[in-house]
Amino acid sequence: MTAPRRILLVNGPNLNLLGVREPGIYGHETLADVEALVTATAAEAGYEVRAVQSNHEGVLLDAIHAAREDCAAIVINPGGLTHTSVVLRDALSGVALPVAEVHISDVLAREPFRHHSYVADVAVVHVTGQGVAGYADATRRLLTTLAG
């Protein structure tokens, strides 16, 4: 069986407000811009993208679980769930797909509660503080990992 040529792009709570919410931290680019960037970046390597964003943890968990059927990897910005969600971490671990963790801001330069990531130990790629461009970097690095 041929490996799937698709990646799942997951954006967690409040990322639907990109471009509006705290532009001094997150910039002026929108979630649609992020999705277009990741889609174009993945296409460079012959991959397609399925994108999901939700403010509801269960929706994200269901999308991650479904990815095991037809995706080769996951790019995720868990938003605030990064620092709070063991179940999100367990879902990512449970599907056993390579994961790239992305954060638009430099979370280590922000409030202390943002310094811990439950996702970090299951991700093979970590990109923080590059703004929206970090999604392209994370996608390229993840696809390089897939290529072996």
Q: Given 26, 47, 118, 135, which residue is catalytic?
A: 26
Is 56 annotated to bind ligand? no
Q: Which two tokens stand for residue 76?
A: 């995720």
Q: Which of 47, 103, 118, 135 is catalytic?
A: 103
| Residue 89 annotated as part of some ligand binding site | no
83 is in an annotated binding site: yes
Q: Tell me, what amino acid is at 23?
A: P
**At 26, which amino acid appears?**
Y
Assess whether 26 carries a catalytic annotation: yes
- Residue of 68, 69, 63 lying closest to 51 (CA atoms): 63
pLDDT, position 27: 83
User: Which parts of the chain register pLDDT below 70?
Assistant: 1-2, 109
Q: From CA 87, how far away is CA 30, in angstroms rounded?
A: 27
Cα gap 23→62, rounded to integer Å: 30
pTM: 0.94
For the segment 90-117, what is each residue's pLDDT rounded down to a tens digit? 999 999 999 999 999 887 767 777 778 9
Could you tell me the domains of the chain?
Answer: 6-147 (3.40.50.9100)
- Residue 103 is a catalytic residue: yes
114 appears as a binding residue in the annotation: yes
